[in-house]
Amino acid sequence: MSYLDLWDKFKEVRDHWTETRSICDEFARFITDKSSLDKNYAKGLKKLLKNDLFNHDTTTLLPCLSSVKNLYKQSAVQLKILAENFQTDLAQPLKQLLAHQDLLIKEKLETGKKLINDREKTIKSHDRAKERYFKEIKESETSAKNKANLAVKFEENYKSEIEMLNNCNKAYVEGMRKVLFVFQQQEEERLRMLKDSLRKIVIFEISFMRSSQYELDSLPNVMESFNPQADLKKFVDDNLTVTGIETVKFMPYLPPTPRQSMIAQNNKNELMGTILEKCWKGEDISREEGSRFVWAISDNEGKKVWVTLLGSIHTQENARIPEPTFSTIGDLMWCTFSSMMETQDFHYAKDCINFTQILYTENDGEKKFLYEFLISHPLWQDEYNWEKIINVAINQEIENYTKHKESIKEEASMDKVIIVSQLTWFGRTMKLLQVEDASAQRLLDLFTERYQLTENIPL
């Protein structure tokens, strides 16, 4: 039995063809999604294997962690291969076959519909001729001779319609068999490929599972090699103090010598210089360097070194930070502002804020400035901090100008110019850092009243 025997079931054959095509299409989508999941999982495993867990050098634990890492490393490699096999050997060929069949079947669908429409029209025409003939025969039995002649005419027409219907049926069956042959051929081809794909899934999955079998088989023995007691004993032996606890004696305070202070400053210069050099090359800094930076920035001298080094970069017209280390510089500046909050020392606050509006990174032609990274820092939410920062900045500017003044009259006229200039700059800066308008305006009004300014300082 074949589709050729279903000459009168074109709609059913078409619906069955559509259903099997839908199954194959959904199968191809399933394979594609499975491949995508496997690829993403493989990427996630590779990223996970960079975890600091595998960087520890504990004596008996190290082989266990190495075995776990190798197991998942192998899994990631095999998952990637599995995903590629699913995509290239299963999904793509099936999609290509469906697309090719869709082009071929389009003409056959139209042919099948036309054959059905032509046959239905012929059947209707035959039925009308038959009905008219029967009607005329009944009427001619009781009517005149001319009616009988008319019945003969309708009989001839009826016989002609019978011949036309028989010819149409013959052409319909022949034409429909050709159409149905293509439907059957395509379904057989699709289902063969679907069966082959299912077989390949079994092969690929078994291959994937067996690829990690060696690591899995060796894992139990390796795990048993972990000996916590031995590791703890080695730690104690390595760190045991033989001499015992020392008696504490009074020690008078000795202030650091100029040489000791100079060595400490040089160390900060070297550390911060190295950090900035790495960051501007796009290289990550080590955890130790980050910890040492926190120590270095904790006092006023460290902040001075930091501002000086940032200033030297700015003067070299190199304000662009490589994108990979933009967040690192942001973290270091965050740490700087946090230290200022902790010590309430804002001597270099304005300089640092200014640098956040100059230093930037760039991605696809779009600039992102450092202050955008720092908008959520708690320093900006405290009006008291702002008051101290603005006050220090104004006093510094006036002091710098006083050193170069030429007359007392000139000093008096310039003080207000300096104050207005500083307040205008801080008004714009608070706007950038998303300080609430009401809070910013209170600060500006406070200094306007304090210095008896007549100018209106806008936000």
Examine the domain organization and report whether 186 and 321 are in the same domain. no
The least confident of 40-44, 85-89, 127-131, 227-231 is 227-231
> Which of 12-16, 140-144, 187-191, 280-284 has the least mean pLDDT?
140-144
Please tell me the predicted confidence (pLDDT) of residue 250: 59
Does pLDDT of 81 surpass 50? yes
In a domain, 253, yes or no: no
Range of the domain at 377: 279-450
Same domain, 286 and 213: no
Last residue of a domain, one of 197, 220, 243: 220
Question: Tokens 């869709």, residue?
Answer: 102
Find the range with the poorest average confidence among 11-25, 152-166, 436-450.
152-166
Number of domains present in the structure of the chain: 2
Helix (H) / strand (E) containing 368: strand 366-369
Which residues have a Cβ under 8 Å from the Cβ of 314 and sit 6 or more positions away?
355, 358, 359
- Residue 96 · residue 266 · CB < 8 Å: no
Amino acid 254: pLDDT: 43
Could you tell me if residue 91 is inside a domain?
A: yes
Cα 309 off chain centre by = 36
Residue 226 in domain: no
Q: Which of 199, 220, 241 corresponds to the end of one domain?
A: 220
For residue 259, pLDDT over 60 is answered with no
CB of 226 within 8 A of CB of 55?
no
SS3 labels along 176-205: HHHHHHHHHHHHHHHHHHHHHHHHHHHHHH
**Which band of pLDDT confidence, cut at 50, 70 and 90, is reported for residue 253?**
very low
Report residue 167 as tokens: 């010819």
What is the mean pLDDT of the segment spanning 313-327? 82
pLDDT of residue 430: 92
| pTM score above 0.75 | no
Residue at 180 is within a domain = yes
Q: Three-state DSSP class for 363?
A: strand
The token duo for 181 is: 């042959």
Q: Is residue 113 part of a domain?
A: yes
Specify if 119 maps to a domain. yes
Contact between 183 and 108 (Cβ < 8 Å): yes
Q: 372 falls in which pLDDT band (50, 70, 90)?
A: very high
215 lies in the same domain as 301: no
Residue 369 φ/ψ, nearest 5 degrees: -85, 160
Tens digits of residue pLDDT in 389-411: 999 998 888 888 776 665 545 55
What integer pLDDT is reported at residue 51 of this predicted model?
85
Report angle CA 46, 51, 57 to the nearest 5 degrees: 120
Give dist(CA 67, CA 412) in Å, integer: 76
pLDDT at residue 141 in the model: 61
Q: Residue 263 — very low, low, confident or very high, per pLDDT cuts 50/70/90? A: very low
Is there a single domain that holds both residue 294 and residue 435?
yes
Question: Can you give the length of the chain in residues?
Answer: 459
Residue ending a domain, among 198, 220, 242, is 220
What are the beta bridge partners of residue 422?
Answer: none
Q: Higher pLDDT residue, 277 or 133?
A: 277
Q: Does the structure show a pLDDT above 70 at 150?
A: no
Cα–Cα separations (whole angstroms), residue 19 to 113, 114, 192, 193? 19, 22, 16, 16
Residue 204 has a CB neighbour count (10 Å cut-off) of: 18
pLDDT tens-digit map of 425-457: 999 999 999 999 989 999 888 888 888 887 777
Q: Are residues 213 and 283 in the same domain?
A: no
Q: Is the pLDDT of residue 374 over 70?
A: yes
112 residue type, one letter: G
Q: Hey, which residues does 362 pair with through a beta bridge? A: 367
Mean pLDDT of 227-255: 66
The CATH number for 23's domain is 1.20.1270.60
Same domain, 168 and 310: no
Residue 164 and residue 35 in one domain: yes
Residues 71 and 158 both lie in one domain = yes
Structure tokens at 308: 């000086």
Q: Is 270 within the bounds of a domain?
A: no
Q: What is the pLDDT of residue 400?
A: 81
Helix (H, G, I), strand (E, B) or coil at 377: coil
d(CA 137, CA 135): 6
Tell me which DSSP letter residue 325 carries.
G
**Whole-angstrom Cα distance, residue 389 to residue 228?**
54
* Weakest mean pLDDT among 69-83, 154-168, 187-201, 229-243: 229-243
CB 131 within 8 A of CB 72: no
Q: What is the pLDDT of residue 260?
A: 42
What value does the mean pLDDT take over residues 153-171? 84
- Asked, for residue 227, whether it belongs to a domain, the answer is no
Query: Which of 2-16, 39-53, 241-255 bottoms out in mean pLDDT, i.e. has the lowest?
Result: 241-255
Instruction: pLDDT band for 9, please (50, 70, 90 cuts).
Output: confident
Whether residue 215 sits in one domain with residue 138? yes
Query: How sure is the predictor about 247, in pLDDT bands with cuts at 50, 70 and 90?
Result: low
State how far the Cα of 414 lies from the Cα of 420, in Å rounded to an integer.
Answer: 10
Least confident segment among 143-157, 285-299, 385-399, 410-424: 143-157
Q: Give the mean pLDDT of the chain.
A: 83
Whether residue 188 sits in one domain with residue 43: yes
- Residue pointed to by tokens 């200094």: 447
How confident is the model at residue 173, as a pLDDT? 85
Residue 368 pLDDT: 92
Same domain assignment for residues 59 and 175 = yes
Residues 341 and 193 grouped into a single domain = no
